[in-house]
Structures are given as structure tokens and as C-alpha cells.
Structure 1
């Protein structure tokens, strides 16, 4: 499925060429002509990729060609990233805010790997030239940005035999339709849910209900589908739904609306718009206003079925009707109808026991129940039933109306960049609780996000992507923590992610035999894994390694994973060791992973120090080493100039002073379980990009420095289990010209010494602060009267503060 990624990969490479490969580097490595040639060729290919993505499903030769292109594009991205590493090395060597010793160590003469870059670039251009003749033979054309033009027609008839457990949903929606409305526009009931959940079925049940038939003068069923909200087409379908005799061959909206008005004038109507994808608000308003002029307005209603919460918010001002999954008992009844003939299930109790487990994996989605039931219809072989029970749904052969192809419409509707991001979610285990910031950092490490707009950060782009997945019901939010949130993914959506990522991502639970060596992302997830499978030692192009679960008893598996990364995965972007690991150190050779951007060692709680060579990982954007009892940070950490997220545990009393110009991109700093830390580091004011500060279980920390008032971009401050901290920070005569701050959330938990809010910070954020949480603070007695000056405060949450007896008036 990764053919669809091509336009996103091409866009990323072209952006990197423009921003990374400076004129100085082009001249120094004599690659100016080769860079221009690569840019020109990729731009020419990119111009027709949308057409290629549309045609690939009917043209096997084109699809194979696109796979070849994908590998070349990935290799081009790696080479451009090599130039980025050179550029960072040069920046460190000439940055006077970094110590002379570090700069001297950085000034290494041309390395053998760097000298190979011109040859690699020429090789990529040659491979593109060899493919050019075949590519040109497809006669691809430039086309508009609509990649997702598909149409699936539905009808209003319903077979009650095929429906279980939707009576309550029908009743609720019928009551909504009958409810009087004072709104100047007719009410719109939006039924929202993932594909295959039964939105169209519920709409049919309502449409054919006797009360509805009597209540409305006219009923209209329109299958919208497709991405475009094509008004002339919709008007024609409405007219034909009402009157088969009415001629509506004209294509002008003016003539069509006259025709529709003649039919509907002074009549109440129920209009069902089934399968709406378009998020074009202007088109919807145009249709709504046109319908408003038809008469019969007080009683007229519209039902919309959609997979998108955004569509629902555009088309209706009331809360959407979020359709839930069927109860297990209803799913079981439906399964028996599709898997057995008549009442044959009573003759096969052994199969029914297996069938109950099959139904459980469908998680209340009726189309999944039907899909698996059909696979077993009249089949009484126990082995086949066990196979369906154990097999991942995405591995089963399915027709176009079965669950996976239906769900895939949602994937096809995503942008090319977001499709790439969605596939990486398949690396996590089913039923995983995802953390939004962790997912975004993984996307960033792999370069999957579009270039941020002005005043935006990469993290903001990632937030926008996750919100789009939420809108489209592909993920479900679990809990909102203000600066991040947790979410889950329905198991069937996870199956979809596995399906579309099957040539990009692999989850290693045992020793895979015949596997594609071009996999880019690995996840180790098998508690019985004692060693690295031999087949993985041929992999060279891996960019992501997640170690979620391996044998805790075998130290060798952890060492061999690190050895594999260092020896084979030269372009590794993300390495996360999240499960328990007995590793006590990393090898000095870790520095060879010069493209590494995301390093998470939270599972390595026996590790006491980081290697001397650590400072050479200059591309690092995220370093998460919380829970590792480091005595000190390694020297020369200031050379990590790309660092954006740093979460550490330090056993020292003091941290090294932060120098001006150091870590100017740092967005998040977390000090976790720093038991001996007595104060925050000097120079904190130089972290000019800091947006989030977490202080957790720093038991000897007593106060915050006043230098925090210079962190004008700080949005979130979280202090938890810092027992001795007192946040009193009163303004003084020297603070008259204090800067305007941007704090949005303040969270204070579990402190016996906490008696005051940091007034200087909060009043400086009076127009931005939205949320304050305080809990388990036994000596907190009174809320300050100046709290009423925080004009943007929306939420004040207080839990278990026994001495706080009243709120300010």
C-alpha cells in the first residue's frame, strides 16, 4: 500500500534539498549539478503522482514501477539526510556558544563516509534515468488535488433479517426527528462512526419506520459518497428519488432548483444524505439555503451519515449521534445467521465455542461479524474455524463489500503525509494506550510531517494530524491532560493499519522466515524472544526500532538488538527500548547512528551512564532517559543542537549551567525522579523555545527560579510529588517591566509545603492561562484574591486539599 506515500516522500525530499543542502555544501562536495538534476527529475515525477496513484489499482506494471520509485526516493532522502548531518557538524564547529573543546573535537577532516556522498547521488540519478523510459510510457497527466474520488451507491431498502440490536438507536433518532425545533434552519441529525458499524442500516430503519412515513410528506434518499459535494448531482438525485417521471437532464443549478421547488413547495420532507465525506462548508451552506426556500420548513429534517466528526460539526449545530458497537449477544445472533444454515449451530456446540471467540474479536462491528461469518458458512471443519479465530482479519481474502475494503475508504481519504503517519501506528500492540506526544515525536523522527507554517512548530503539525484522525473516527481519545492526550484505536482500525503497512512495517514476535528486506520499521513484541532472528540481519534500510516486549531473562537479546542497530541500520531515525532491559551501558559505537533523532531508554533502569561518544548524536531531537539513575549528564551535551524533548533522571545535587545559545530548540524539559536535586540549573532563561516544563518526584527541590519569567513561550508547567517545593514568587520593584508570558496550564500535585501560587508567573499569563489543577496539597489553605484577574481561566480543579475551606468571592 506504500505506493500512495510517493507524493509525500517526494515532497519531503524536495523540501530538504531546499533547506538542508546549502550552496556551500554543494560547492564543497562538487554536487551542485547532481542536486539540481535530482530536484528537476523528482519535481517532474511528483507532478503526475496523483494520476499514478489513481491508476495503480488497475495497472500492475505501474504499481511495480511505483515500488521501484519508492525505494529510490527513500535512498535519495537518506543521502540528503547525510548532507544534513554534515551541515549540523559544521554548525557545531562554528558555534561560539559551544565550548572550544567540543568545537575542536567536531572539526574532523573529510570522513570516508562523507566522501562517498557524490557517488551515492550520481547512483540515484542514474537509477531514476533507467526508470524514466518505463515511467514515461504510462502517459501520466497532471491532475487536480482530489486523489480520493470514489463512489459507492446505497439504497433505502432494508432487510430486517440482517439487522440485530439497533432498535434503541432507531427509537432515539426517530424521537430526535419528531422533536419540535425553534431553529431557523431545519435540524440535521448526523450519525457518526467508523466504517461497517451500521450507520446506513440505522438510517434505513428510521427512513422506513411507519411513524416517519406518516410524519413527513416526502422522503428523499440520496447516496452522496465520493469526496466532492457536487450540488447539481445531488439535486438531480433528490428529484429522481421523489419522482421517477420528472425529467432533470439539465445541468444548471438554477433549473434544477426550480424543478425541486415545484415538487417540494409547502411540503415537509425528510432528506437522508448517506455517506458524506466532503468538508466543504460553503457547498453545504449553499444546499441548506436552497432547501430552506422550499417551504415546509418547520417539520422538515435531514439525516446525515458520515465517518467524520468534522463533517458533523459543519452540517449540524447539535451534538452528533455517535453510533456505538453492538452488544456481544446481538453480534452472536448475527454471526449465527451468517455462519450457519437455519438452526444448524445447535448441532455443532464445539464450533459455537470457537464462534464466540471469533465474535469477540469483531468488537461490536456488524460488518466484521458478517465478513467472518460468510467465510465459515456451511463449513463444519473445526480446523477452519480455529484458523479464522487465530488469523488477523487483514490477512483474510475479502470482497469489496467486506469489512477491510470498507474501512480502507477512510484510509484512502487521508492525505499522503497522513497516510504515512497512520501506518506507523501499526507498530504498537493492539489495545495499546497511545500518548499523543510520543506518537508525534516518532512521526517527526521519520520526517513524515509537512513543513510547519509561519509561527508553527513541528509539534503543532503533529497535533493537527492527530486531530484529523480523531475527526475521522480512526482513533478515540481516552483522556486529555492539557499538553497531551491519550488515545486508543479500535482493533479493526489497527487491522487496517497492519494491512496498509504490510510492506513498510513488521512486528517481530518470533523468527520470521521469508520477509522483504526493504522493511523500514521494526517492532519487537514477543515475550519469548531470546535472540535476534537471523532473517533480520539482512535488513539494511530500517529507520525505526521499537522494543516493546522481549524476554526479560535474556541479556543477550537486548545487546544483540543494539549491535544490529549499530552494524546494519546506518539510517536509523528512532530507537525506543521501552520494556525492561538488563543493559548497563551503551557501546561507544552508538555514535555511528548519526541520523538518530529519537532515543528512548526508559526500560534500561540498570544503566548508570551514557557513553563518552554520545555528543556525536547531533541529529537527536528527543532524548528520554527518565528512570535511569545517571550520576551526571555526559560532557558536551550542548552539541546536541537539534534537541527538542529532553526527559532525564539525575542523581546529582546540581545540574550544569545552561549557556546562552544552548538548546535553543528545546520544547520540553522533564526532570523526573531527581531525588538529590536542590535547584533548577542556572541559565534556564536561555531555553527560549521551551513550551513545557515537568518536575516530577524531585523530593529536595524547594523552589522555582525567578528566571522562569523570561520563558515567554512556556505554556505548560507541571509539578508533581516535589514534597518540599514552595512556589511563592511575589512581584518586586524590579519586576515592573516583566515580559508577557504564555502559560496555559498549571498543574500542582502532592506537595506538603505548597502554600502559594507562583503569582509572578500567573499574573504574567493573565490573558492566556486556561486551566489550573491542584491536588493532594495538605497545607494549601487559601486561594488568592488576585485569581479573579486571570481573565482566560476556564477550569479550576481542586482535589484533596483538606485545609482549603473556601473559595474567594
Structure 2
């Protein structure tokens, strides 16, 4: 990931130029070295864009960039130690503790020794940077500045369900495959239909079209979809099949899984799609297939694969070979994606260039799609010609026309987006990304540019980057879960491109893997002594993701060895107590302990993670308490918690004054939140989600203090009425920023709280669902001048709307029979009385 050199250089320059560093460097006597380092870094940074473009054709330049990046990483780590000291000082200031100030601030028994060590490190970094800088003159590099403006061409999101009208040129293929599904085979009760074709042809797309076809839905009693990718592990596949069928995510033995699978498919005609299969081990396939023979005659398995030999192993029937699209269909697809409707008629020259680009794609829809999205809304002929005539088309093409098209699209990315894309390679193929968590992951590695607009947060920058990558088709299968987040995947070929860019810096750790010494990001699939031994030669690891449950000894090894960790993902682990050694990871920004169902407590040392930005404790049902000093995590921005607490007091959560997003989730014992919260707490909080807390009776929410809150979602809290919220008495003077408000399944909610009037100029969406005792909308509701969308569903006692609701852009009523009847008489709105 050579692009990181430019990214890291920018971060270092930004840090060195800050006032806080000037003050600290002066106090520590390293001001001169840091100033020289800043000047040298500025001189290097301006030529890095040119260097990164030329490195592919100049081996020496590539080596120079590698050396530079190595020292930049070391410089970032040293400056991060400065930053940690600043945070420690802030913690002590908050504690108002003068007695321990000096010793704690310098993190050692002798502050003079610490100063000397830091000065020595800074001097060493500066000398190495100077040596590397002296060499740059040999490469005749031009000074360039990046245009950081991100041009957004955002379109409506797609979903895993693909409407047939959005797919071009596959009607005949769809009909033929459906006919194969309807055929009755006398030889076996479960038959396999392989769909074979090169990557990017649309094998998965055509399988989805067939899978969701009404005729197919009626024909099969049970449908299941599993993406296989590279790891054809029978136990894992059975688990995924069951999860697709019944949502079963229990940790069962292989025998229990087999019994569950047989029981569930018994006497049912089923359709199973095994997407993206590459397994050529006949024994593994027979082992899985034998478990699928208990269904009714006529059950079918669709297999999509790039490899014809895989199809031969899995089926005695002839494969369905998917061909490339015709030139006519490719051009239709290109025009649909590259131009706004009718725009191609206004730009005939662009259309002619587009025809030539389409020819180079050789009938591969993914190639057409990628380049069309790249050129969307661009009207400069030179940009189109540069794509048509690019030298990259002369590459050896292992995947027909797809590799050059994908690399072209990547090369055209702005430099600040390239590391964001490349970092996605650390996740496995077919990984379901969550936009909120991926943005936090990017933030942890510091690859989001600081916003120039003071009204934007880093999360907003990440959201812009995400949408730009989506608009360029680097992600697919987008599903909007709610207004806060959506999920998506990467096409396996796009993932391959990310892996090729990440090169030796990202590695999957297995017992047989070979790890390069320079690896920085690890994803563990195996454990054991073989894995631990491989870690001994590594020293610069910044990311550890455990894909499977790992031993405490391996975790201890990682914590003790890798002191520069930024990301530690322990999701789905199973240990009762987190090791106290976690507190030594002072560079840590992202810690995920979600879905650890047996963890009982967090060590107090976790409060030493002053740099931590993201802490995920979702579905930690047995977590007894949060550490008393959790307020010392003074950079925390995203916090998701499940706990056995009965009250999240002001000291437990309210003291986290830097929070931007707070999710309180499935806390079955929780009775109150924010008790004793004072003015000035949570003033940066933008998102608050409270859900599945059946004992919650009080938020004791000082709403008037939450001046930055934009989204509030409360759901499945059967004892919560929301009438006790502080601020009711002076709601006329409230100045709130709320934009989205959602109440779901709150049986004690009868009317809307008065404080909502404080968002008269900001509230855009109001959604009330499943509130069985909700009786009336207030007469002041039309005074919410910014309200555009009002959704009401399953509120049977609601019988009327206030006057003056005609200005709404969207009014949706569902499951409110009395209100729906009156709405049809008085308003033009969308209703459903079923």
C-alpha cells in the first residue's frame, strides 16, 4: 500500500504544525528537531503524488518509497507517544490531581530519562528522513498537490434483490436456468446445476434473478443461499446453510449441525445456491452432498463457479456456461450507467468514444459497469479518451477484459480514497461490511483527511469517502438497514484488486501461511503453536482481527509483542475476563469485544486507553459493570454497550464527553440511563440508540444539554414512557438539532413529548411504529417547519391527524385502520389498512 506514504506524510505534517506540539516540543527541548522534521516532510510530501504514479515503471523509486514509508510509520508511532502524553495530561487535569501530575505525565519514574529517550527517537527519525530526502533529487520528481475535492455522484442504493428490469441481456439465460430447475430428475432426489463463467460475467446476478423469481419461489418449499468463496469447510458451510434457512447462529458441534440440517430439509423440496465455489476436493463435496439428500425429489442445488473442473466434480449434468454480453447489450448497460437519462444524445462524441471503450471490455458486465460508473457525468472528452487509450489495456488479462478495467478504475481514484479501499483487503471475501464500523476502522488508522469545513466531523468525511467508493462500484449488494447504516460487499475480483494493492502488508494467518516481515495487518483464521511461532519475526503490526475464537495465550502474545496496535477485533471470542495487559496498548483506537456471551468484567486498565475512539461491547450479556474510570477514555467517539447494569449513571456513560454515537443495546436489567447527568455532558453526541431494554423506565435525559443530537432511536422498551425527560418545563426556549426521531414498540408511549418542539427548525423524519397505546399527534406538530416525512405504522389507537399536515413530502400510514380511513377522506397520502 504505497499510497499510504502520502497519507502518513500528510498526517505527520498536520501534527507537527499544531499548536499543542509547538508547546510540548518547546517544554521538552526538541523544538529544533521537530521543526526541521516538519520542513523536510513538507518538501517530501509535495513530490509523493508524482512518485507514487511513477513507481510501477521504476524499481529504484519503488524501493525509495518503501524506505520512506518505513520511516514515516516509525515517525507516526513516536508522534503518537507525544499525543498519548498530552491525553494523560488532560486526564490528570480533569481529575484535578496535582500530586501525581509529574510522574504520570511522563509515564516513568524519571521524567528526565523519558525526555532524553524521546529526544533521541526524534533525532533518529529526523536523520533518517533527511537521508531519504537527499535521494529524491535522483528521480526528477515534480511537485504536485492533490485536489481533495470529492465529486459525489450518489445514486439510489441497490439491494440483494435485483429487479429484472435492472439487468440487461440475461432474459434468455434466466429462462433456461429456470427450466432446468423445474425438470424432474429420476436418478437422484437432489441434482446440481453448475453455472460456469469467468469472473465478472454476472453468475451471481443471474443466480439472484432466478432465486427471486416468483415461479421459483412457488415451486420450492425452502430456499437457502450461501456464499462459499475459497474455504470449502464442511462444518462452516453447514452452519451457513442453517443460518440462511432458519437464522441459526448457535455454536454447535459437527454432529449437532448435521442433525439440524437433516431435520430441517427432511421431506421438503428445497433450492440451495452455493455461490462462488472453487473447491476441487471431491471428498469434501461428497461429504456435504450426502447431508443434503434428505429433501424431496426435485430439490436443486445451483453452483456458481469460474472453474469448469469444479462443475465436473459437483455434477453429472452438463454445466450451464454463461457467455459474455453482446456488444449491443454491453453498450446499453454502459449508456444506462455512464449518462443521465437522455444525456447521451447531447454528447455524440462521448458516445462514440464509449463504444470503443465497451469493445475493450470483451462482454464482461462488471468491466462495463466499473468504467461507466467511473465516467458518470463527466463531459470532458480528454477524460474519456484517456480511459480508452490507457496503456493498462495491454496487460496480460487472466480474466478476459476485467483486470485492466478494474485497475483503471482504481488508478483513477483520488489518492485520499486509495488507502481506504486497500485496507478493505484485510477482511475475507464475501464479508458483509457495515458502513458505520468501516468508517471507525478507517479513523483508527488515521486515513481520513481532517475536514476543512468546521461543521463536518471525521465521521462525515468517512461517509463522503464511502459514498464515493460506492458510486464507483467498488462495493456492491448494498442493503439499507435503517437511516443510520447500510451493509454491502465487495465483488471477489474487486477484493483481488485490493489484495494486490495491499501486497505484503495484509496477511491472513493460518498454520500453513508464510508471513512477510513487513506485514502490518493480520486476520487470524487458525490458532495453535504454529501460528504463535510465525508472529515472532513481526514487529510493526497495527491490526489484528480474530475471525475465529482464539486462546487467551495467543491474545496475550499479541498484546505483549505488538505495542503499536491501532485495531484489535475480538468479536465472538469467549473468555470471562479480558486481560489487564490490554492497558499497555496506548496506540489502540478500535476495540471490538462484541458477541462475547460469557465475559463478566473489563479490567480497570482499559481506562488507560486514552486514545481509544471505538469501543464495541454489543451483546456482552454477562458483562457485570463498566470500569469506574471509564471517563479516562477521553477520545471515545463510538460506544456500543450491552451490560447487566441496572443504571448507566452519569459517571458510567455521561462522563464520556467526546462521544458522537452511543448505542445502548439489549440491557435486560437496565432501569435508568444518564442519572445525574450535568450540563456540559454529551454535548457532542449526534446519535443515540436505545433498544431492547425491557426494564428501562427512565432516561432522565437532560435533552436541553444534548444540543448536537441529530438522530434519536428508541425501540422495544416496554416500560418507558418518555414523559419524565428533563426539559419539558421550558420547551419553548429549547434549541435542538434533532433531524431523525424514531419510536418503535413502546407500549407506554401515549403522546409525543413536548421537548420535540425544540427541533422545530431541524426535524425532518418522524417515525412511530408498533406503539399500541399511542393515541394522538399533538396540535403543534405542523409547527415543525422542517418535517418532511411522517411514518406511522401499527398504532391502532391513533385516529386523527392535526390540521395543516399537507406540507409533508411523504406521509405513510400502515396498520392504523381508524387513521387510515380518515386520512383517505382528508389527505392525499400513502396508506395501507391491512
* TM-score with structure 1 setting the length: 0.67
1:69-80 correspondence runs (5 A): 69-80=68-79
Q: Does 1:567 align with 2:560?
A: yes
Q: CA deviation at 1:756?
A: 2.1
Q: 8 Å contact 2:331–2:355 — kept in the other structure?
A: no
In the alignment, what sits opposite 1:183?
A: none
Encode CA deviations 1:216-268: one digit per residue, 9 max, x unaligned.
xx9997469xxxxxxxxxxxxx8xx9xxxxxxxxxxxxxxxxxxxxxxxxxxx
Q: 8 Å contact 2:505–2:519 — kept in the other structure?
A: yes
Change (3 A) 1:100 1:772: farther
Q: Does 1:675 align with 2:668?
A: yes
Which region of structure 1 is more displaced relative to structure 2, 608-617 or 627-636?
627-636
Q: CA deviation at 1:421?
A: 1.0
Q: CA deviation at 1:408?
A: 1.5
The correspondence for 1:622, drawn from 614, 617, 621, is 614
1:380-399 correspondence runs (5 A): 398=397
Separation of aligned partners in 2, 1:106 and 1:708: 36
DSSP 3-state at the match of 2:119 = helix
Q: 8 Å contact 2:703–2:725 — kept in the other structure?
A: no
Separation of aligned partners in 1, 2:145 and 2:200: 26
Q: CA deviation at 1:795?
A: 2.5
In the alignment, what sits opposite 1:746?
A: 741
DSSP 3-state at the match of 2:416 = helix
Q: CA deviation at 1:533?
A: 4.0
In the alignment, what sits opposite 1:711?
A: 706
Encode CA deviations 1:174-232: one digit per residue, 9 max, x unaligned.
xxxxxxxxxxxxxxxxxxxx9988899447756999xxxxxxxx9997469xxxxxxxx
In the alignment, what sits opposite 1:523?
A: 523
Encode CA deviations 1:671-728: one digit per residue, 9 max, x unaligned.
2222222221221651110111111222221233351122111011111211111123
Q: Does 1:657 align with 2:658?
A: no
Separation of aligned partners in 1, 2:140 and 2:557: 43
In the alignment, what sits opposite 1:422?
A: 421
Change (3 A) 1:87 1:794: same
In the alignment, what sits opposite 1:262?
A: none
DSSP 3-state at the match of 2:772 = coil
Separation of aligned partners in 1, 2:74 and 2:779: 61
The correspondence for 2:779, drawn from 778, 781, 785, is 785
Change (3 A) 1:651 1:406: same
Q: 8 Å contact 1:725–1:751 — kept in the other structure?
A: yes
Change (3 A) 1:606 1:661: closer
In the alignment, what sits opposite 2:592?
A: 600
In the alignment, what sits opposite 1:468?
A: 468
Change (3 A) 1:501 1:732: closer
DSSP 3-state at the match of 1:650 = coil
Q: 8 Å contact 1:418–1:465 — kept in the other structure?
A: yes
Separation of aligned partners in 1, 2:28 and 2:7: 27
The correspondence for 1:700, drawn from 695, 720, 730, is 695
RMSD across aligned positions (CA): 3.8
In the alignment, what sits opposite 2:496?
A: 495
Q: 8 Å contact 1:658–1:684 — kept in the other structure?
A: no
Encode CA deviations 1:706-756: one digit per residue, 9 max, x unaligned.
511221110111112111111236998940652311111112222222222
Change (3 A) 1:63 1:195: farther
Separation of aligned partners in 2, 1:748 and 1:782: 14
Q: CA deviation at 1:497?
A: 1.6
Separation of aligned partners in 1, 2:91 and 2:731: 38
Change (3 A) 1:766 1:751: same
The structure showing larger relative contact order (alpha-carbon pairs under 8 Å, at least 6 residues apart) is 1
Q: CA deviation at 1:130?
A: 3.2
Separation of aligned partners in 2, 1:790 and 1:416: 42
DSSP 3-state at the match of 2:768 = strand
1:247-258 correspondence runs (5 A): none
Encode CA deviations 1:86-111: one digit per residue, 9 max, x unaligned.
11111222235x67799698455546
Q: CA deviation at 1:661?
A: 9.7
Q: 8 Å contact 2:50–2:141 — kept in the other structure?
A: yes
Change (3 A) 1:469 1:727: same
Q: CA deviation at 1:67?
A: 1.0
Encode CA deviations 1:633-661: one digit per residue, 9 max, x unaligned.
21222221111112222323223334999
Q: Does 1:134 align with 2:135?
A: yes
Structure 1 unaligned spans of 5+: 149-164, 171-193, 210-217, 225-237, 242-270, 276-303, 317-370, 372-395, 551-556
Change (3 A) 1:733 1:520: closer
Separation of aligned partners in 2, 1:558 and 1:535: 16
Change (3 A) 1:202 1:53: farther
Q: 8 Å contact 1:565–1:572 — kept in the other structure?
A: no
Structure 2 unaligned spans of 5+: 150-166, 173-198, 203-323, 336-344, 359-367, 381-392, 804-834
Change (3 A) 1:145 1:715: closer
Aligned residues: 601
DSSP 3-state at the match of 2:92 = helix
DSSP 3-state at the match of 1:563 = helix
Change (3 A) 1:204 1:573: closer
In the alignment, what sits opposite 1:797?
A: 791
In the alignment, what sits opposite 1:588?
A: 580
DSSP 3-state at the match of 2:671 = coil
DSSP 3-state at the match of 2:649 = coil
Q: 8 Å contact 1:667–1:689 — kept in the other structure?
A: yes
Separation of aligned partners in 2, 1:730 and 1:120: 53
DSSP 3-state at the match of 2:474 = coil
Change (3 A) 1:574 1:113: farther
DSSP 3-state at the match of 1:687 = coil
Q: Does 1:14 align with 2:8?
A: no
In the alignment, what sits opposite 2:509?
A: 508
Separation of aligned partners in 2, 1:423 and 1:805: 54
1:57-96 correspondence runs (5 A): 57-95=56-94
Q: CA deviation at 1:20?
A: 7.2
Change (3 A) 1:122 1:69: same
Q: CA deviation at 1:459?
A: 0.7
Encode CA deviations 1:497-527: one digit per residue, 9 max, x unaligned.
22211222112244412x212111112235x
Q: Does 1:728 align with 2:727?
A: no
Which region of structure 1 is more displaced relative to structure 2, 706-715 or 501-510?
501-510
Separation of aligned partners in 1, 2:13 and 2:634: 23
Separation of aligned partners in 1, 2:597 and 2:566: 23
Separation of aligned partners in 1, 2:334 and 2:439: 45
Q: Does 1:758 align with 2:753?
A: yes
Change (3 A) 1:436 1:103: farther
Separation of aligned partners in 1, 2:200 and 2:414: 18
